[in-house]
């Protein structure tokens, strides 16, 4: 299942084409080719806590960045990650231990 656990973002189909300008003097003799392509989401495996249980799910980077930003700003994120600790708190804890020592 290649879908984001939270938002459901998945594979999209589209077209790739080059920006060929054609030839001067009227109609296009060489038309720019268009081919089918697949747009894949940037999914990452993460461990979350849901209903007091550990789950391993796939999240897209947009959702993952939103969770990390909410944690940094002190808001309650929509999913609880297992291994994420914000940089600001870690650096402040390190500075306090350095002062105490």
pTM over 0.85: no
Q: What is the pLDDT of residues 55-73, one digit of tens each?
A: 999 999 999 999 999 999 9
CB 85 within 8 A of CB 67: no
Beta strand 53-60 with 43-50 is: antiparallel
Walking along the chain (101 residues) 10 residues at a time, the average pLDDT comes out as: 90 85 61 86 93 92 94 91 64 54 52
* pLDDT score of 90: 47
In angstroms, the CA 45 to CA 79 distance is 14
Other beta carbons within 10 Å of 86: 14
């Amino acid at each position: 299942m290649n879908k984001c656990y939270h938002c459901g973002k998945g594979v999209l189909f589209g077209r790739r084409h080059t920006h060929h300008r054609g030839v001067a003097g009227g109609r296009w003799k060489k038309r720019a080719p268009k081919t089918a392509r697949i747009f894949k989401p940037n999914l990452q495996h993460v461990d979350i806590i849901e209903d007091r249980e550990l789950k391993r799910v796939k999240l897209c980077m947009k959702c993952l960045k939103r969770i990390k930003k909410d944690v940094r700003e002190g808001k309650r994120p929509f999913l609880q990650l297992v291994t994420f600790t914000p940089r600001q708190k870690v650096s402040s804890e390190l500075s306090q231990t350095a002062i105490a020592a």
